[in-house]
Structure 1
Amino acid sequence: MKRRKGYTLVELLVAFAIFAILIIPVSGMINSAIRGNKSSKEKLELVNIFNLNYSPTKN
């Protein structure tokens, strides 16, 4: 009997399940980092607007 090369369906399902278990926390961290970056950008924009509007009064 010839031995076929390749993976069985069970092996593929187990590999996919392990991959899914590992990728879920990573995607949560990426999403959190994106939200934090957006918040920091908005705060920096407000500081820049404030500095632009009130810089002439320093003189």
Structure 2
Amino acid sequence: MAQPTPARARICPDCDGFPAVAITTGLRNRDGSRQTLTATCTTCKGHGHTTPASVLARAGR
């Protein structure tokens, strides 16, 4: 008997599913490692996927 499969989450169009990135500043720490800044996607707020349109359309009764 076939098993129902859950709908897959839509991948964020802005970050393509990679919501957090590390950007090097070009500077080094005292131990020799690079200083980095972490940036997260503002569209999906760091989740990597967006809410499907069908969920957003359910309103009313």
Task: Give the TM-score range, shorter chain.
Answer: under 0.3
Bigger Cα Rg: 1
Q: How high is the TM-score relative to the length of structure 1?
A: 0.25
Q: 1 or 2, which has the higher strand percentage?
A: 2
Give 1 or 2: higher helix fraction: 1
Give the TM-score of the pair, scaled to structure 2. Answer: 0.25
